[in-house]
Amino acid sequence: MPQNITEQDLFNHLKHKAQLKQLVYNHTYNSFREFKQIIRALADYYQNNVESGGPRVAFEYRDKGEFQVELKFGGDVLIFLMHTNVFEFSRDHEVMKTNYIREDKERSYCGVIQIFNFLADSFKYNRENDLGYMIGRVFINKDQHYFIEGKRELGFLYNNFEQAVINRESASEIIKSAILYTINFDLLVPPFDEVKIVNVAMIQSAIESMKMTTGKRLGFRFQADEKG
């Protein structure tokens, strides 16, 4: 231990850092509970108020535990996941260049709620090789401020981190934007040259359980579709 650091300094630093991360975790956890309540309320509203002119379209809330909730609608599933750890951004991240963070570096410690989109049939037919896409992630700090990193429809809110507070209204807007983006994020036919040759084992497996790899943007990484 360096001579200029006392045991008291060491443990004061440990206590302060732990309390900071616990505060961020609590804000993120409470926000995620709000997410779950909003999603459930949307599903209840749909069941009680939306009339279907034909076959009823699914819109279902599924609680998958303390840190995961699913929303199934039409042929899609949105999965909301809260990470149990607290993160800090790298020095090269855009958010670190904002005055809001420069004024107080502790504001850069955030909890994360991630939003993924999968095809409903991927789970229905147990197609383990199917692809899902992270369409956004919500960062929440000690001040209960947030920003979103993700698809254009969810927005890039670096410049609003200083003012944007996570509450029921903002959480509801995030969820609705994620649903709207997913509705408009259509399944594309994969390039012919990527699927024109299959072996016997692959076709037998596909016949048995429809396990040919499927994804809305098959063959493309999420990063390659950022402008979609």
pLDDT at 14: 95
Token code pair at residue 133: 């896409």
**Assigned domain for 21 exists:** yes
CA distances from 75 to 50, 69, 135, 167 (A): 18, 17, 16, 29
Owning domain of residue 166 = 7-186
pLDDT at 17: 96
**Assigned domain for 206 exists:** no
pLDDT-derived band of residue 217, with 50, 70 and 90 as boundaries? Answer: low
pLDDT at 203: 60
CA distances from 150 to 20, 145, 196 (A): 26, 17, 33
CA distance linking residue 164 with residue 7, whole number of Å: 39
Domain count, the chain: 1
**Assigned domain for 34 exists:** yes
**Assigned domain for 194 exists:** no
pLDDT at 201: 66
pLDDT at 129: 78
**Assigned domain for 199 exists:** no
pLDDT-derived band of residue 153, with 50, 70 and 90 as boundaries? Answer: low
pLDDT at 50: 83
Per-residue pLDDT of 9-53, as tens digits, reads 999 999 999 999 999 999 999 999 999 999 999 999 999 988 667
pLDDT at 157: 41
pLDDT at 174: 92
Beta bridge partners of 168: none
pLDDT at 197: 65
Under DSSP, is residue 222 helix (H, G, I), strand (E, B) or coil?
A: helix
**Assigned domain for 100 exists:** yes
**Assigned domain for 119 exists:** yes
**Assigned domain for 76 exists:** yes
Per-residue pLDDT of 99-143, as tens digits, reads 999 999 999 999 999 999 999 988 888 877 788 888 899 999 999
CA distances from 66 to 30, 48, 63, 83, 138 (A): 11, 26, 8, 11, 17
Per-residue pLDDT of 70-102, as tens digits, reads 999 989 999 999 999 999 999 999 889 999 999
Per-residue pLDDT of 171-207, as tens digits, reads 999 999 999 989 887 766 667 676 666 666 666 666 5
